[in-house]
Amino acid sequence: MQAGDDTIAAIATPPGRGGIGIVRVSGPNAEFIAKSLLGAVPVPRAAAYRDFHDAGGQVIDTGIALYFPSPRTFTGENILELQGHGGPVVMDLLLARVLELGARQAQPGEFSQRAFLNGKMDLAQAEAVADLIDSATATAARGAQRSLAGDFSRKVRALSRQIAELRAYVEAAIDFPEEEIDFLADKTLLGRLDALAEELKQTLASTRQGVLLQEGLRVVIAGQPNVGKSSLLNALAGSDTAIVTHLPGTTRDLLREQIHLDGLPLHIIDTAGLRHTEDLVEQHGIHRARGAIAEADVLLLVVEAGTGITETDRALLAELEPARRCIVVRNKIDLAGEAATIYTGEFGPEVALSAKLGPGIELLRECLKKQTGYEQGGEGAFTARRRHLDALRRAEQHVAVAHQCLQGSRAGELMAEDLRSAQHALGEITGEFSNEELLDLVFSEFCIGK
């Protein structure tokens, strides 16, 4: 795949008013556009204070122009950056002029895509650019910065190199069949496969953490009406997001709040109380609640301490996949005269607390941390994506099969084939092996101008 040979342009700053707005141009025409718009091409990599002219020679704006000639640029192409005043009309006029001079409006993520296609960064690094922009916590931002710097890619490449060496070894054994027995019976080969499997396992574990850090966790609060679900959302968020009343059926729609636990982003969703109802609006709410429950990473099932888990709650728990994490919250301990505590109940951890008064909320936070399996943003934590996790899992499986081939039948050919597949899976992470579909998927999530 090759980067386009046309010139792209976009407003790189967010829409709306701001002190400064930036129009970014990349491609072979950037130089011509600079000359037409500014009168002369600025000295490379030096700030130039210039008038930005329209077709009739009128000044659209005055600002800073920066020119970066290929190849030492973000995209690898000629880049022109025009920093003007950040008003939507000024920016639109400036962009319109640039398009008039032969550039085309860039697609979301197209600058980063060109950077990837021109070998300026690999695919995981390009994804980290978007992750850095989207990061919800400071820990996630630091993790994305590490991935952008190549920490994650280096791990993946090192694994890929290890597999390549093993492949060479095994393929040599196949090519010289008279020595095959010796080659494949060699204990060091088995040892190296074991070491590889172990490293894959560790990388998978840190990648899982990386995905958690980037995406955060969907925590859904559910239960019967009036048990204090919305009060719990408010207590966790430390704000009055949700309406709380003594009337059952207060919450109808899904309510979302974002908080973080030691740098791990949590998307908390409050839902309508589950009950049989004739009220049409509430029915819709309950339908949405069920949808949210089905997609939850962690379910907080709220019950009243005085009542405990009811038959309706049991029915809900029975519907959940066994692997789904669930914490039972026994709310309103102040009414039941209980103390805040945490213990292991029938369905997993149970936390007794009072959402209204506060005792036990800290215990719930601790429990959430444990349940998520998130290790507090250790030094060197990097962000990753589900796509990466997927590829690593496939690589792990292929290596496991290769291991079996070696131990069981000493089937050199099969082993070589699985090692090849494992290496291919790793190559998908860095984009060494990619296709248009994958690239479209990755870059379409970017913002315009990045």
Ligand X SMILES: Nc1nc2c(ncn2[C@@H]2O[C@H](COP(=O)(O)OP(=O)(O)OP(=O)(O)O)[C@@H](O)[C@H]2O)c(=O)[nH]1
Residues near ligand X (CB under 6 A) are 225-231, 244-246, 248-251, 272-273, 331-332, 334-335, 354-357
How near is the Cβ of 261 to ligand X at its closest, in Å?
21
How near is the Cβ of 223 to ligand X at its closest, in Å?
6
Q: Does 234 bind Mg ion (CB under 5 A)?
A: no
For 81, phi then psi, to 5°, come to -120, 125
> What, of Mg ion, ligand X, none, does residue 356 touch, CB below 5 to 8 Å by kind?
ligand X
> What, of Mg ion, ligand X, none, does residue 225 touch, CB below 5 to 8 Å by kind?
ligand X
User: How far apart, in whole angstroms, are the C-alpha atoms of residue 327 and residue 273?
Assistant: 17
User: Can you tell me whether residue 332 is helix, strand or coil?
Assistant: coil
> What, of Mg ion, ligand X, none, does residue 248 touch, CB below 5 to 8 Å by kind?
ligand X
Contacts of 42 (CB under 8 A, 6+ apart): 34, 48, 50, 65, 66, 67
Residues in the chain: 450
Nearest residue to 184 (alpha-carbon basis) of 197, 194, 171: 171
Which one, 122 or 282, has the nearer CB to ligand X?
282
Which one, 103 or 242, has the nearer CB to ligand X?
242
> What, of Mg ion, ligand X, none, does residue 249 touch, CB below 5 to 8 Å by kind?
ligand X
Query: Which whole-number Å values give the CA distances from 81 to 48, 71, 116, 240, in the listed order?
Result: 11, 16, 20, 43
Which one, 94 or 242, has the nearer CB to ligand X?
242
How near is the Cβ of 300 to Mg ion at its closest, in Å?
13
Residue 104: beta bridge partners?
Answer: 8
Q: Does 250 bind Mg ion (CB under 5 A)?
A: yes
How near is the Cβ of 241 to Mg ion at its closest, in Å?
11
Which one, 21 or 228, has the nearer CB to Mg ion?
228
How many CB atoms sit inside 10 A of residue 80's CB? 29
Q: Decide if 37 contacts 23 (C-beta within 8 A).
A: no
Element (H, E) at 265: strand 264-270
Q: Does 331 bind Mg ion (CB under 5 A)?
A: no
Nearest residue to 352 (alpha-carbon basis) of 310, 305, 391: 305
User: How far apart, in whole angstroms, are the C-alpha atoms of residue 184 and residue 173?
Assistant: 7
Which one, 222 or 266, has the nearer CB to ligand X?
222
Greatest distance between any 2 Cα atoms in the chain: 83
Which one, 229 or 332, has the nearer CB to Mg ion?
229
> What, of ligand X, Mg ion, none, does residue 332 touch, CB below 5 to 8 Å by kind?
ligand X
Nearest residue to 10 (alpha-carbon basis) of 114, 115, 106, 110: 106
Tokens of 141: 């931002």
Which one, 122 or 257, has the nearer CB to Mg ion?
257
Which one, 356 or 424, has the nearer CB to ligand X?
356
User: How far apart, in whole angstroms, are the C-alpha atoms of residue 25 and residue 31?
Assistant: 10
> What, of ligand X, Mg ion, none, does residue 21 touch, CB below 5 to 8 Å by kind?
none
Segment interacting with Mg ion (CB under 5 A) among 71-79, 81-89, 180-188, 228-236? 228-236
Q: Decide if 6 contacts 444 (C-beta within 8 A).
A: no
> What, of Mg ion, ligand X, none, does residue 231 touch, CB below 5 to 8 Å by kind?
ligand X
* Residue number, nearest CB to ligand X: 273
Segment interacting with Mg ion (CB under 5 A) among 4-12, 205-213, 246-254, 436-444? 246-254
Q: Decide if 160 contacts 240 (C-beta within 8 A).
A: no
How near is the Cβ of 295 to ligand X at its closest, in Å?
19
Burial bucket for residue 347 (CB in 10 Å: 0-12, 13-18, 19+): middle
Instruction: Report the Cα–Cα distance between both ends of the chain, in Å, rounded.
Output: 20
Q: Does 230 bind Mg ion (CB under 5 A)?
A: yes
Which one, 51 or 334, has the nearer CB to ligand X?
334
> What, of Mg ion, ligand X, none, does residue 209 touch, CB below 5 to 8 Å by kind?
none
Which one, 50 or 252, has the nearer CB to Mg ion?
252
Tokens of 192: 């190296």
User: How far apart, in whole angstroms, are the C-alpha atoms of residue 233 and residue 239?
Assistant: 8
How near is the Cβ of 247 to Mg ion at its closest, in Å?
10
Q: Contacting Mg ion (CB under 5 A), which of 251, 372, 423, 430?
A: 251
How near is the Cβ of 315 to ligand X at its closest, in Å?
17
Q: Does 224 bind Mg ion (CB under 5 A)?
A: no
Site residues, Mg ion (CB under 5 A): 229-230, 250-251
